[in-house]
Homo-oligomer: A and B are copies of this chain.
Amino acid sequence: MVRRLLLAGYTVSVWNRSHAKTAPLAAAGAVAMVDLDQAVASAEIVISMLEAGPVVGQVIAAALPALAPNTLWIDMSSTRQLEARQFHETLQQRGIRFIDAPVSGGVGGAQAGSLAIMAGGSAADFAQAEAVLTAMGRATLVGPAGSGQVSKLCNQLIVGATLNIVAEALLLAQAAGADPTAVRTAIRGGFAESKVLEVHGQRMLERNFVAGGQVKTQIKDMHNILDAAQAAGVTLPVTELVTQRYLSIEQIYPQADHSAALLALELSNPGQRVGTAADRLG
């Protein structure tokens, strides 16, 4: 993401809790900073990309005294909606503007500058952020602060559930005497088509469960989705079941790819199995 910003002509200061990680970016043209204060003090826009909400909160708290008024902070980490709303409130009280802008598309999308960027914030702040975000991908304003995280959760909900559905279709094909590889080929391009059928359907047929997106991450996402649903007062029955399905393999395959939804299904159908390839678990 830093490389895409440099490529677009921006001056980028980089800071990491492990300073050594900034070296390759410094070599690419970024200015590596040892101190967080130093990194944020003169910035018009600060972008954070961290593991989860609690770490984002710590970094915001540490940076806060050094931030100039009217700075725009864009958090591109995946956090809970509630955390993003709290960041917005904390920063707003100090005259700092905030957008939550989590991404989808993985390392490949980051390298290609083709990330899906889901932004929550005011229209005015998004207008200022848009050119910078566009250097990294396709940015869409989806609502007020916290909404970017909601959109990311909607994305994860659809992905996790579709993985379970494709697994059920392939196991049915196999068990009913059809060739699951040919069935996948036959139904592609029609109303059953999805990115998951394309990418993870192929993985399931090859029994390649090397992550990719890990089962434990998908479970974390499912919990955050159900928390957001509860906070919003809605019950999502399929999402609840999909969470149970992933929990059934939490202890066995925590680091496998989330296409291990197929392994969960086979565990609850003893003696049934898609294909004859050996499992690859990494």
* A interface with B by C-beta (< 8 Å): 81, 104-105, 109, 116-118, 120, 138, 140-144, 146-147, 150-151, 153-155, 157-159, 161-162, 164-166, 168-173, 175-179, 182-183, 185-197, 199, 225, 228-229, 231-239, 241-242, 245, 265, 268-269, 271-272
Contacts and interface: CB of A to CB of B under 8 A. Distances in A.
Contacts of A161: 161, 165, 168, 238
10 contacts: A117-B186, A147-B176, A147-B177, A151-B178, A158-B192, A161-B161, A168-B238, A168-B239, A175-B232, A238-B242
Contact of A234 (B159, B172, B192): B172
B142 A182 contact: yes
Nearest to A188: B116
B150 A172 contact: yes
Say whether chain A's binding surface is mostly helix, strand, loop, or mixed.
helix
A103 B196 CA distance: 22
B192 A195 contact: yes
B187 A173 contact: no
Contact of A143 (B146, B178, B236): B178
A159 B237 contact: no
Contacts of A120: 178
Nearest to A225: B172
Residue among A140, A162, A245 with the most chain B CB within 10 A? A162
8 A-B pairs closest in CB distance: A194-B194, A140-B186, A175-B232, A147-B178, A143-B178, A158-B192, A154-B169, A142-B182
A36 B253 CA distance: 59
Nearest to A168: B236
Nearest to A161: B165
A271 B191 CA distance: 30
B138 A153 contact: no
Contacts of A144: 177
A176 B150 contact: yes
Contacts of A194: 158, 162, 193-197
A68 to B, nearest CB: 30
Nearest to A232: B175
A265 B239 CA distance: 12
B164 A238 contact: yes
B183 A142 contact: yes
A166 to B, nearest CB: 7
Contacts of A195: 190-194
B238 A165 contact: yes
Given A158-B165, A166-B158, A140 B182 contact: yes
